[in-house]
Structure 1
Amino acid sequence: MVAPALSSPTSVGAKLGAKVGAYVALTKPRIIELLLVTTVPTMVVAEQGVPPLWLMVATVIGGTLAAGGANAINMYVDRDIDALMERTQGRPLVTGAVSPRSALVFAISIEVLAFLFLWQVVNLLSAVLAVSACLFYVFVYTLWLKRSSSSNIVIGGAAGAVPVLVGWSAVTDSLSWSALVLFGVIFFWTPPHFWALAIKYKDDYARADVPMLPSVASHRQTTDRILAYSVVVWALTLVFGATADLGLLYWAVAIVLGGVFTGMAVELRRTESPARAIRMFTFSITYITLLFGAMAVDVIVRNGW
């Protein structure tokens, strides 16, 4: 009798790594990176200096778990349309790397962990805000608006703006007008950011019967809205500079970046070009990263840190 072949340690390790990678992919780590880029600078502004390291780390950990859980539930719900779209066909639930039941258990587990962790280590307000964002993202955006309204990302994008509120409340255990204005910056930034990407993939959304604006409206209608929202974002960044009493560094960066972002929206409106749309999408990430970085640096420099 021939003895069954044993798996080598290398193959076992590779399988384990692939499985872990699949679960990480469920959380959409690239989206989480962007959320965290907005959280830490917000904490610096709320503190008017550098908050304690443990608080920043704890808020980032809790925010990562909360956002990851929401994203994983989104993948669980959307696995049918993900299989139809070229952009999402490599996701773990489409490829079978993770079973739907395992994905749902994983998502709910880390969401509960996020709430308990933030409650016990940070504060209850931050925990409630973080989990509320998840519930809004799942029930309002994913289950209701995404498949039924071309305004899906406009309203649903509110969930992506909540991390600034979590960051602010983590420091102050309260909210303020400045925090709400900053929420507005992300809320109004999200549609032009996402619509620029959706222009390239509008056929994907049409194939999956998802009424994302570029797939159900003309290029002019879509880019008119992109331009309008970009102007509102620019205005709100200046309002935030005033309400948060930020200095010249922030004001200069906000004015220049807002001008560039709005200029790109104007150019996209003039020319129907998927390549130009992707450039705007890519810059929108750079825009928000530099803007939030500037507000943190402005506070640190002016307070002598």
Structure 2
Amino acid sequence: MRLLVTGGAGFIGSHYVRSLLAGAYPGHDGTRLTVLDSLTYSGTLTSLPPAHPRLTFVRGDIRDRELLLDLLPGHDAVVHFAAESHVDRSIAGSTPFVTTNVVGTHTLLECCRRRGVERFVHISTDEVYGSVEDGSWTEASPLEANSPYGASKAASDLLVRAFHRTYGMWTTVTRCSNNYGPHQFPEKIIPLFVTRLLDGRKAPLYGDGLHVREWLHVDDHCRAVQLVLESGRAGRTYNVGGGTELTNRALTERVLAELGVGWDRVERVADRPGHDRRYSLDGTRIREELGFAPRVDFARGLADTVRWYRDHRDWWEPLAHRAAALDAPVG
């Protein structure tokens, strides 16, 4: 089998690549991977295995139609991680989110259709649903995204659905809750807090800290993606939740405890515009149809993640400087 992985130098995509090449997914010992990544600010080759015989890296943009038409022949499936994904940056400037997430996904779909790629797995997010006060979203819940990032992902989800319904392409969509784990770019809340605290700085907590998120370890997410690629039903959307809901304040408490520091190391900052209050996914479909359940306990996963950042300053420090140099806020 030959897979094209877009965004494979980013946080989730690179974990998927490393896992597959390390034998984490049975039956793929001979699978070859092509990673297509434009290496924007959050992508880095240091997240990929160096010089692996079954891995080919191509630097390029999913909006480049001619590149895709040349690259896709011979690939059996596309796993589409590539996206602009940071909400704060989408608020500061939405254009890259629309061009990459919407135009880029459309270009990729059209080129896959023309080249006869057999399977297309699109990686999305719970943010397409907006905010839920009570209960959990099912895959049938309306898409009511509130940020430019969420809206761009909702649009790309609908394009994927349309290419299945209109052209008969084998496509699926996965919508995951907040991911965490090693190799995450230090602008997202857990690595941002950990790296700042390790540097003796303060962790910035938005508003009252009572916004609720559901947490999923990146390894569990990638297992779910592989299950959907192998056994998912064409045209289906699958929610992938982690099952651990925490307020941002409770998450902060856990990070502080892991690092042995107190609340004096936290600073309150003005809330994000249009900040969604709560996310929660109903994972019944992927559990009943594909047998998926998260394996990584959040307490263990968080401890392992904090330890990884403590031990890999050489990986994250240059990226933290890169993030700090950008104009948009982070957090």
**The TM-score by the shorter chain falls in which range?**
0.3 to 0.5
Which TM-score applies when normalising by structure 2?
0.32
Q: Which is richer in strand?
A: 2
Q: Which is richer in helix?
A: 1
Larger gyration radius, structure 1 or structure 2:
1
